[in-house]
Structure formats: C-alpha cells, structure tokens
Amino acid sequence: MSNSKEIQTSDATKLGGSFTLPGTSMTVHRMGYGAMQLAGPGVWGPPRDPDAAVAVLREAIAAGVNHIDTSDFYGPHVTNQIIRRALHPYPQGLVIVTKVGARRGADKSCIPAVSRQNLIDSVHDNLRNLELEALDLVNLRAWGNNGQAPGEKSLVEPLAVLVELKRQALIRHIGLSNVTPKQLTEAQTLTDIVCVQNLYNLAQRDDDAFIDDLAEQGIAYVPFFPLGGFNPLQSAALDSVAESLGRTPMQVALAWLLQRSPNILLIPGTSSVHHLRENLKADGLNLLTDALTKLDAIGTKSDKKANEEI
C-alpha cells in the first residue's frame, strides 16, 4: 500500500463495513471499485473521455473506497495508466488488486497467458503502468477446459511463478480467479491465498457452498459480473423488489451480495460518476425477510456457468 494522502474515512460501517484480508495488514471497505469499464468499448483502447474516467476514480476515493480491482490486460494497459494518472501518488490505505494470466489478441480476444515468461512480464507491466515498486495483491486468472468456466487444471506451475515473485518482494499477496474448491486446496499447498474472485450473483449461484467454506477460512470472496446472466423472469423479479424499495435493481443486487456473507467484497464497475454514486448507496440498504425471500428465489445453479468476465 502506498502513502501520501490518506483516504478520509475510518467508519467501520461505511461502504458495507470492513474486511481484513487474512494474514495481511490490509483492511478494506467491502464496497470497492472495478476499473475494467474505464477502458474503451469492449475493454479495448482508451475511453472516449479520459478526463471522465479520472473523475470516476477520484470520486470513488473521495467517497471512501479503498479497494480498486484492475488488470494490465484491460485495454490493454489503459486502466492502469488511468489509475496512475488519477491517483498517483496513491492515498495511504488504498489497496490495488490486479490480475494476471491473460493477454489480449489483436482481434480483442482474451487469451490464456500463464507461461513463466508471460506471468513475469505481466507483473512487470502492472508495476510499470501503476508506477509501483510492489503489487499489493495479484490474482492468478485460471482457465477451464473450455477456456471460460472454471475447470480442474493444475495451478502448480503458474502459481509457483507468482510465489517466486512474492519472494522477490514484487508481490505482497496472492489470490485466485475463476477457480474451483479443488484448485484452491491445491494452491494452498504452495502459498497463502487471501481471496477468490469468481462469477457469482443473484442469478448465478453455483458458488454458494464455496463462499461458505471460504468464510470459515476467513478468505475474501470477490464476485464479478454482479448483475448479469438474468433471464427475463429473474430480471422482472429483481425489478419488482427494487421498485417496492424505491431503489435501483443494481443497488438491490449489490445489497443482497453484502448480506449474503461477511467475506464478500464488491467491485462494481462503471465509467459514470452518477452510476458510481448510485452503486455506493447499496451499503445503506438493509433487505428485510420478505425482500430476501423473493431475491433468494431468483438464484439458480447450473452445470455450466455463463462466464462473461474477461
């Protein structure tokens, strides 16, 4: 974590409360910010309005956000460069989490990049573009057999590279993305894992048991794609609850996640200051029994996850 300015908040109840990543000194508010949408359309190239992207980041920090999720393959390089422009020198207490294990093709596709050299290059790209001497937390993005949904491929080889970079003090802590409980168990034989970042939301509930197990271990669970993959009936049910509460569907979906488990950390992304402010208001929404019952009924489990995260 960097120093200089200090994020102006010490309220443990603000932004969903706080969570300390296991085995670290990093305590973050449970509502953070995901930077992926700061890049151009398709997470490719610069945004239409770079100044607006800078404004969103500065607004997030002003509101007390102290957890930003990013990756150097967003853009590529674009989001990290915007984060550096907007926030460097970084406020004291800000935790920047990045992800490695993928690269972008010339056709804008997302391609696995988990060779030793790929991972070393990715870490150094993140360091350079964020202008940091060490990365707070690096998630290893795993790839299933179909390239998308989690599989059971061994993570030993790529994870060993990150462990080596951790010993070199280029990485402080390690997490996993797009993984199964079996892969987590394997990874824990090599190093401490402080967070898991997987697809999960009201409509995609395959990780219910996984979340509960991680909570028992004190490991953070960070759901991506918090509002997506809904069929029309599910969307209608969410809209109905939101309307009855006088809130937006996104606020309700985020509030449900906050109440789902205390180890869940949120990283909703947006390129709009207005939408950022709306999202952050989810922390003040307490869902009562009737609303929770209706929302819980939306959830489904499937044999194959529809993973749209890159």
- Report the C-alpha gap between 79 and 71 in whole angstroms: 7
**Angle at CA of residue 132, ends 90 and 41, nearest 5°:** 80
Residue of 74, 90, 200, 221 with catalytic role? 74
Q: Phi and psi dihedrals of 3, rounded to 5? A: -115, -145
The first and second tokens of residue 119, run together, are 């991972």
d(CA 249, CA 265): 18
- Torsion angle defined by CA atoms of residues 206, 207, 210 and 211, in that order, rounded to the nearest 10 degrees: -140
Instruction: Assess contact for 175 and 208: CB atoms under 8 A.
Output: no
d(CA 154, CA 46): 35
User: Which residues touch 106 (CB under 8 Å, ≥6 apart)?
Assistant: none
Burial class (CB in 10 A: 0-12, 13-18, 19+), 54: middle
- Measuring CA to CA, which residue among 87, 97, 92 is closest to residue 53? 87
Separation CA 51–CA 159 (nearest Å): 37
Give the C-alpha separation, 86 to 126, whole Å: 16
Residue type, 11: D
Q: Catalytic annotation on 200?
A: no
The values of phi and psi at residue 278, to 5°, are: -60, -45
d(CA 55, CA 236): 33
Q: Catalytic residue positions?
A: 74
